[in-house]
Structures are given as C-alpha cells and as structure tokens.
Structure 1
Amino acid sequence: MGFLSRAMGAMGIASAVAEERSLENPQVSLSDTDAMLGLLGLLDRNGALPRVSIEAALAVPAVWGITNFLPRTLAALPFHTFEAGENGERVNDPRAQLLSFASNAETSSYAWRKYHWHQVFTIGRGLSWIERAGDRAVAIWSMDASKTQVIRRNGRKFYKYGDREYPAKDVIDTPFLLKPDGLGSYSPIEKCNLAISLAIAMGDFAGGFFAGGGVPPYALEGPLPTGRDGLQRARDDIQRAIDLAKKEGRAFFGLPPGHKLNPIGTDPSKGQMVEARLFQIQEVARIWQMPPVFVQDLSKGTFTNTEQQDLQLVKHLVGQWAKDFEDEVTLKLYGQRPRRRAKHNLDGLQRGAFKDRIEALARAILTGQLMPDEARALENRPPAAGGDRLYVQQATVPLEEAGVVPAPPEPKDEEDGDDAGTETEK
C-alpha cells in the first residue's frame, strides 16, 4: 500500500496533524531540533529518537565498516615478543607462539585478536582468559564481554563468567573507556546512540520515500463521502487510479471535480537529505576517531590530505590501541617486571609506494643506519653476501677541499741492513 493510501486512511485526523506540525504553525520553532525532527517524522511518540541495539547499529553502513575495518587492521599487525630493552632481540618462546601463531588449539592468533577487537569497538570491552598449566601459559581463550561481570573483592579484581571467576592476572582486558568506578566500561555504540539512531531514521525515511516511487504523502482535499464505507470506496477508487497510471506509464491521473491532492510530507531535496546523510557518516566516524576516507567519505578528499589521513590512522588511532594491547598482554603473560615484551610491528601500515620505499632504504644504507640485509628483510628478500655490515658513503668533504685530489703517500725509507753491518765492520 502506497503513501497515498496510508495518508487517506488517516484522513479523519490528517488536517489537524498537518496543521499542528506544519512549518506555518508559529508553535513549531525552526531552531528547536526536537521539533524539526518531529516534523520530519523521525521522533517516536515520546518526542525522542528510539534507542537502538548493537545489532541494529551494525545495519548502518558507516558503523559496519568501522567495526570491521579496525579489528581486521589491528589483528593483521605482526605481533612478536622481544627481549626487554631498547634493542632487544626477537624471541620465539611458547608464549610468543600464542600471540603470533595460534592462541589455542581451535583459534589462530589472527582470529582471536580480530574477535577481541570487535568486542572492544562494539560492546566496549575485549576480554580473553589465559589458561595456565602451573605458571606456564598454554592457551588464550576469548570471553563474551556482554556475559562477564567485573567485580572487586578485598581490593582485588575478578571476572565472573558463567559459573567461574577468574583473577585479573589471568584475564587480558581491553576496555574502550573505563567508567569512574574502574570496573565497568562504556560502549561507543550505546554512549553515542543518538547519532547512530539519527542515521537509521534518515535511512528509513529515504527507504520509505523511494519505496513509494518517490511520491511523498498526500492528503485529499474536497467534498468527501460521509460514513466509513463511503470513505473506504473513495480511497479505493483513488488508489486504483494511481495504480492504473503507474501500470500504463501515464504522467497523471484524474480526480473528481472539486478535489485536489496536497503534499503533507517534506521534500527530501529541500530537507537536504543527501547532505544530512553525508554529515551523519562523518558524525559516526567521530565516535571511533576514524579518518573519513576510511569510511569511503571522499567529499573533501584530495591526493594530499588522503595520504595524511593514512598517517593519522596509524599515529592517532591504530598506534594508540596497539600500545594499549601490548602493555596489557605483556603484563598478563610476562609479569609486572618483565624481561620480555610483546610488540606490534606498524611498518607494514606505513609502507609507501615502491619508489619511495626503495629510495628511503637506499638512503638508510648509505648513511649507516641499516645493513643491506636488514633492508632486504623489510622487503621480504633473503640475505646477500656482505650484507651484514654497515656502510657509509664517503663523498662528503669540507668545502675548501672540494675538487682537490689528495697526493699519494710518500714511500717510507728502508734501512739496508747489509750495508749498515759492513760499515760497522770497517
């Protein structure tokens, strides 16, 4: 049933509602956000946007894209263990295998970390339990944060999951943002529900508009039959006329004399629906501090600032979450004063074009910062002969010595032992 039928079905109250919610009504303030949203039909009966669940929020393309992009990106980062210190060497102990290869017998490291981060960016907390054999960690298992209760007893933190309780030292905990009590955490979707709900309402409005053939709701004005049956027949006649006009491709259909259709909806173009939906994408991106280009918003993208947004993603978003996870995993797997640390490798996210990478590596080799084998390893190439030494280019000389060819060294005088001995004998 189209917009016209629904509008005529409520014909008894259409005039009053239209007058009450019209822009011509001086009681409707154009600066009142709630009044304007109510005029557009985006508010519920209580005068507020309906709250949405996490499942409903994932139906918003921007939310879906962000909550999938960030977990995949963070889970794909190489995650290794190194000796503590500035230049600690990489180690491959059993705990490092849990982080870089398989967290348990059923789950790869990538799958475990992806699920962990998805919980962080939706529910607001990622939790994982460390299974131990004595003091040795043998597996890491994901926990459903929505079914876990965090409590504090005698000053110690515990995680209640099902019928079991786990001490804090056995749980890897990554909250999106802790609440003031230090136990609960905020969900970005729940906390910013209004912005996401508005995006859903705009999508529903656009879907309803185009599902009705792009025809806004109308009210029939003119002498109408009295009685419920007569009104129903009039509505059915109008609906048949509309359907017949659509079927035969006619541009218009006739109405009884003295009748006309008045639009009672808002023209989407006048309401700047396209601009509003684009702004809502940017609003959703702000919740997770996501650069707009990564939610496919290129409305203000250029060759220059798109590359800068790529750097911003690593410096101000991925890098910070990676640091949070590194410290938490190191604490829970290696203790409070660790001799080894878990670290991500962010180099892969910062890889430039092939030409830029090769020029940067060549410069690092010629200035003694990288050995050739180290540069080759960054490009996934095997070591080469003589590549385990540092080199420096010696073409830089003082200005006053430019163009001067150094003189060859003078030969040293060699004493003739035989002659000296003969002269002594004389």
Structure 2
Amino acid sequence: MEKRNTPVKSGGFFNSFFGGITKSGKPINETTALTLSSFYNGLNILSNDYAKLPKSIYRKKDGDRIKLSGHHLNYIVSKRPNQYMTAFSFDKVMLLSAILKGNAYAIINRNELTQKVESLQYVDQNLTPVKVIEHKSKLFYRIKEKSYSSYEIIHVPGFTLNGIVGVGVVTLAAMSLGVNLNSQEYASEYYETKGEGIGIVTTAKPMDPEAKTRYAGALQNRLNTATQHKVAVLDESGSFNYIRLTPQEAQFLQTNKEGVIEVARWLNIPPHKLKSLEGATFSNIEHQEIAHVSDSILPWAKSFKAEYDVKLLTKSEVEKGLYINFNHNSLLQADKKTQAEYFSKLIFSGVYTRNEVRSLLDMNSLEGLSEPLTPVNAQTLEQIDTKLKELKEKTNE
C-alpha cells in the first residue's frame, strides 16, 4: 500500500528513551549542553575546521583537474551563499545544526528562467520547524507553511537510522551530559554554600532550641559581614568546625575531568583537541592531528559534498566532469621541517613541479619551474631501450 503524506520521524525510540533534567531541574538540551566547556569547545573546533575547508568548483578533463573560478556556483560555495552570511558562517552553522539538531537544512533559491542557483538560505530550526514528508515515494519538506521538493532543499542528516532524517547528539548523549552538568552544578553549589564561615558549633553545655537559634543567628550575622577580617567569639566553651569536602565529594568533583573524555567520544574528536593532553606527546601529536582530519572532519565533508554535488550541479554538468571539491589539505599543515622534506621528495620524484609546490605555499610561480624533475636513476623500460639503441648506433659508427 502506498504511503501518502507520511511524516518521516527522526527516531521515536531515542526521543522517548533518552533525555531528562539535572538535579536543579534544568532540561538537558542544546542550550544547557553548551554550558559544558568541553562540549562547547568540541563543537566549536569541529565546525570551525569544517568551515575552514576551501570549497571550489572543478572539472575533470583528460585526467587533469581544472578549477572553474568563473562558474556561478563557485562564488556561492566559496564566498557568499546568501545576503546574510559569508561562506564560513554558513558552513559553520550548517554543521552545528547537523550535530546538535540531527539535521542541517538550507533552501536552494534558483532563478525562475535559467534555474541557476542564486543563493542558499539557512533554515533556523529553532524559529522554523521543518517537517519531512514522504509522498508517492518522494520526499517533501514543509517550511513556514510552504512545501518544497527534495530538489529545492539541501538536507544533511547527522546520525541516522533510516538514512533520511537524523538524531541530534544531545538526544543520544543526554544521560552522559546530564552527569557532567550535575557535577558542574554540584561544584558551583559547593563553592557557594560550603566555603569558609559554614560549619557546626559544638558546646559542652546543653542549650534549649530557642537558645540554639539565637546563638546560630548571632554567629551567622557576624560571619556574614562584608569586612575583610571576620572575628567571632563563642561563649560557654563553644567551638566552631568547618564543613570539609569529603573524599566522596572530592571524587565526584573529578567527574568534570572524566567528562572531557566522554564528550570527546560523543563528538568523535581526539581528547587533545579538548585540551586534555594526557597521553599526548610531541612525537604523536602530528599523527593525532591527521586522525582528527580523517576521522572527525572528512566524514562530515563527504556528507555535505555528496549533497552539494546532487542538489547544486545539474546532471549535464556532472556528465561533463564537474564536481565540488572540499580541500582538506589545508588542515594537514605539518611543521616546517617535515613539510620541507615532504615537498622535496615529491619534487625530486616528479610528482609535483616546483611551481605547483609554490602554489600550495601561496606563492606566485616563477619562470622555468613548471617542468617536472626526473631522477636520473629512475627510468622506464622504453627510455632504457631507446638509450641502448642510441649507444649501439654510436658504437657501430
């Protein structure tokens, strides 16, 4: 039986099973989760690194890649997707939406006559909820009481179980983030309510309830003064004992430290990116950076690239070899010594010309440096045969 106007849900199991509130009654959602420094820092790093990727329109032709700087899409994807945002701001907020809300949406505005893409308008799901509907085996989007076909919407889901709509990481990580939020609240509460001047008064002489109340009130008023030095005198051989942090409470306050590792797992980001340097050394930090690009950034870049190629380029353009390139090499900058060794090997093996390396280093080309170098001890069989023939001819002469 054919489905008609059926809303596609993002995962009722997760939405109903996970979630909750902190011990102070705060809901665990995108806003409260961002008050965790590690969670905020992780999201900021992921979205910034993705937004930093240079994006351009290229064409494959005879095995070469040609950058189409004059293509109308090049300005949109690399400079200004719409009148409100730069490409960096647009890319950053799109990835944040995909991670936090589970889905990133943008409306594709096309020229009515030419059907060329004119802008990409980000859809703020906090202000405008998006409903995804399946009708006659096709997807439609309902935004501000207006329906859009799949062709008119950029839609990149995050973690998804049905391949269509995603689930936000906060929905899945609510329990884990809730523990970290509780420990954060507990630490704040402790420093507010269990500092100096808070404790227990003991006395050798029995006191009636009213006397205890008066005694405690007088002591509290004395210790609550705004003066720098606070002095209180206790009668009847009384003694004042501070309430100290118990070993169990101290251990609970360490939960924030463990929470950094937990956040790193949920965001799929190396702990050293969240300023947790345990186990990190100068010898392995470069490898961890490479792992960050390949494991954390590239999967998101591939998701957005696939959607852009399908929705922004026409079928005829794709058949002509056009594609949108996300250059991740900008995130793989090594130290100067390693970089020099890397480029030297590629130049002397003939992989790069010297001008191509200058271009990668953002330097202008120089005359005479566009020819690839060939090692004298590395030759093809054809070259060897040719030289042998030339040698025989010279010998016969």
TM superposition score category, shorter chain reference: 0.7 to 0.9
- Bigger relative contact order, structure 1 or 2, given CA contacts below 8 A and separation 6+? 2
Q: Deviations over 1:88-118 (max 9, x none)?
A: 3222310122101111233221121111112
* Distance in 2 between residues matched to 1:165 and 1:301, nearest whole Å: 51
Cα RMSD between the aligned structures?
3.1
- Written as runs of structure 1 = structure 2, the 5 A alignment for 1:324-363 is 324-335=303-314, 338-339=318-319, 340-363=322-345
List gaps (5 residues or longer) in structure 2. 1-20, 380-390
* Distance in 1 between residues matched to 2:226 and 2:132, nearest whole Å: 63
Give aligned pairs, total: 355
**Structure-1 residue corresponding to 2:99:** 121
* Distance in 1 between residues matched to 2:357 and 2:233, nearest whole Å: 75
1:74 CA drift (Å): 0.6
Deviates more, 1:208-217 or 1:68-77: 208-217
**Structure-2 residue corresponding to 1:190:** 171
Contact 1:209 / 1:215 at 8 angstroms: preserved in 2? no
- Written as runs of structure 1 = structure 2, the 5 A alignment for 1:190-229 is 190-212=171-193, 214-215=195-196, 218=199, 223-226=206-209
* Distance in 2 between residues matched to 1:183 and 1:143, nearest whole Å: 17
Contact 2:130 / 2:141 at 8 angstroms: preserved in 1? yes
**Structure-2 residue corresponding to 1:67:** 43
**Structure-1 residue corresponding to 2:68:** 91
Larger-gyration structure (1/2): 1
- Written as runs of structure 1 = structure 2, the 5 A alignment for 1:125-274 is 125-134=103-112, 135-146=115-126, 147-180=129-162, 182-212=163-193, 214-215=195-196, 218=199, 223-226=206-209, 232-243=213-224, 247-248=228-229, 254=234, 256-257=236-237, 263=243, 266-267=245-246, 271-273=250-252
**Structure-2 residue corresponding to 1:53:** 29
Q: Deviations over 1:16-67 (max 9, x none)?
A: xxxxxxxxxxxxxxxxxxxxxxxxxx9749xxx8642211111111111112
1:349 CA drift (Å): 0.7
Contact 1:245 / 1:253 at 8 angstroms: preserved in 2? no
Q: Deviations over 1:101-142 (max 9, x none)?
A: 111233221121111112122222211111011321111110
Aligned partner of 1:278 among 248, 257, 266? 257
Q: Deviations over 1:250-302 (max 9, x none)?
A: 6x863655777584x75267632453221011111111111011111113321
1:291 is aligned to 2:267: no
1:200–1:216 CA distance, 2 compared to 1 (3 A): farther
1:248 CA drift (Å): 2.6
Aligned partner of 2:80 among 92, 97, 102? 102
Residue 235 of structure 1 aligns to a residue whose secondary structure is helix
* Distance in 1 between residues matched to 2:105 and 2:73, nearest whole Å: 18
Contact 1:123 / 1:188 at 8 angstroms: preserved in 2? yes
List gaps (5 residues or longer) in structure 1. 1-41, 398-406, 414-426
1:341–1:371 CA distance, 2 compared to 1 (3 A): same
1:183–1:366 CA distance, 2 compared to 1 (3 A): closer
**Structure-1 residue corresponding to 2:57:** 81
Contact 1:60 / 1:200 at 8 angstroms: preserved in 2? yes
1:224 CA drift (Å): 4.7
* Distance in 2 between residues matched to 1:226 and 1:213, nearest whole Å: 24
1:201 CA drift (Å): 1.6
4+ runs of 1 displaced by more than 6 Å?
A: none
1:160 CA drift (Å): 1.1
* Distance in 2 between residues matched to 1:356 and 1:311, nearest whole Å: 14
Identity value in percent = 17
Letter in 1 for 2:57: T
* Distance in 2 between residues matched to 1:321 and 1:199, nearest whole Å: 26
* Distance in 2 between residues matched to 1:161 and 1:408, nearest whole Å: 79
Letter in 1 for 2:180: A
Deviates more, 1:163-172 or 1:105-114: 105-114
* Distance in 1 between residues matched to 2:363 and 2:238, nearest whole Å: 84
**Structure-2 residue corresponding to 1:302:** 281
1:144 CA drift (Å): 1.4
* Distance in 2 between residues matched to 1:221 and 1:91, nearest whole Å: 83
